[in-house]
Each structure stands twice: as structure tokens, then as C-alpha cells.
Amino acid sequence: MSEHGILEGLSGPPPTPAVSRAATADLSALAERLGERLLASDDGAGRREPTGLVDRAAIVEAARFLKEARGYQFLRSVTAVDYLGSEPRFQVVYHFTAIPAAALAGDARASAADPTRLLCLKAPLPAEDPVIDTLTGLYPTANWHERETYDLFGIEFAGHPDLRRILLPNDYEGFPLRKDHPQKYEEIAFSFNQDEVYASKPFAKE
């Protein structure tokens, strides 16, 4: 894993050079704003969207700066990564999008001069305290994304207005996308093994 795991888990088609340059400028502006609280950064070099590793205490300030000063109106996803065996164990991953006003108005001719920009932030969290402030006060989409991340990874989002499971039953035990979660499965019955499989399954009795 690279330093801080900053390049891990990034995929998808590479951005165009214009998009990369524009978003890299946004990341540089964020670095000036946060100083040492931007722990690491990578401009993507045209391979992927620029990415910054942010101290968790600065995530709300970072997101507010991107939205209000750099035009990132849309938080398109929040998820997490579990680096079991490393510390900090978790990273919360945020993907932001800045859509220019001309594009929102349907003017495709303006897109080359002012392209849609993509930027990723990651925030490391320790295994014993996987808590970070919510972004629901800035981005309404954070509500459901953060609930899903809580549901599957057990990440707590402080200040979230309704932090509860969104996919799994309320009585489900554990967090299934953590790498130490027990792997459970039910063997499928085929013609060659159905007698053995059915012998261990409960069936309704008359």
C-alpha cells in the first residue's frame, strides 16, 4: 500500500487533461486552506481524479471550502475502506463533483472551457475510534451515503440526524464489509449433493 493508502481503491476511466488540471488547482487551493491538516495528496497525473488525504477533524471545513469556494455542489458518494492489519485501519472516501453553471443550463459548448471537475478526499480513522463528523449539513446526499457506510462498515458519523441501518435489518449483528466479519454462506443443493445438503436444513413438519 502506498503512503497513507492514498492511491488505493481508485478506479474508473481517466479524466481528460483539462479536467485533471482544473481539479488539481482545486486540490492545491484546498492544501493552502488546510495546511498540515491535508496529510497527503496526489494529482492523479491524468490517471485518476486528484485525491487528498485529510485529517478527520478537518473534513467539514474541507468539504465546505470545496462547495462554497470551488463550486463542488454535488457529493456523489461516500464509502469506506478497511485496511485490516494496518493503523489507521479505516479510510472514509468522499467523491465530489463540480458541474459548471453553463453545463447545468444545457450549454454543451461551454464544457471544454469550463469542464465538470471530479475530486476525491479520504479521511483515515483508527480502529478503536472510527468516528467522523457528518456532512449532512452541507450535502443532503450525505444522509443516505453515510447511513450505508455505517451499515456496512460501522463508521459513526457524529451529528448525523438519523444514523441507523439502511440496507440490513436493525437486528443484524456486525458490519459485513469489515474484513474481519465472519464469512457465512449456505451451501447450494445440486443433484449430486442434495441428500447431504438437505440433511442439514430445517424443513417444516406437518
Number of domains within the chain: 1
Is 157 a member of any domain? yes
SS3 category, 189: coil
**CA-CA distance, 149 to 82, in Å (whole number)?**
11
Q: Residue 72: which CATH number?
A: 3.30.460.80
Closest CA to 4 of 42, 36, 61, 31: 42
Is 203 a member of any domain? no
Is 97 a member of any domain? yes
Integer CA distances (angstroms), 151 to 173, 174, 175, in order: 10, 9, 6
Which three cell numbers mark 106? Answer: 444545457
Instruction: Determine the pLDDT at residue 113.
Output: 66
Closest CA to 50 of 10, 91, 110, 109: 10
Is 14 a member of any domain? yes
**CA-CA distance, 49 to 53, in Å (whole number)?**
13
**CA-CA distance, 110 to 172, in Å (whole number)?**
49
Is 45 a member of any domain? yes
Is 129 a member of any domain? yes
- Using 50, 70 and 90 to split pLDDT, how confident is the model at 3? very low
Is 20 a member of any domain? yes
Residue pLDDT, tens place only, 118-143: 999 999 999 999 999 999 999 999 99
**CA-CA distance, 140 to 116, in Å (whole number)?**
20
Residue pLDDT, tens place only, 85-98: 999 999 999 999 99
Helix or strand holding residue 38 (H, E): strand 38-42
Find out whether 12 and 44 touch, Cβ atoms under 8 Å. no
Is 188 a member of any domain? no
**Picking from 5-9, 67-71, 170-174, which range would have the lowest pLDDT averaged per residue?**
5-9
Domain containing 170: what range?
3-174
Find out whether 94 and 63 touch, Cβ atoms under 8 Å. yes
Residue pLDDT, tens place only, 25-77: 999 999 999 999 999 999 877 667 899 999 999 999 999 999 999 999 999 99
Closest CA to 152 of 95, 94, 92: 92
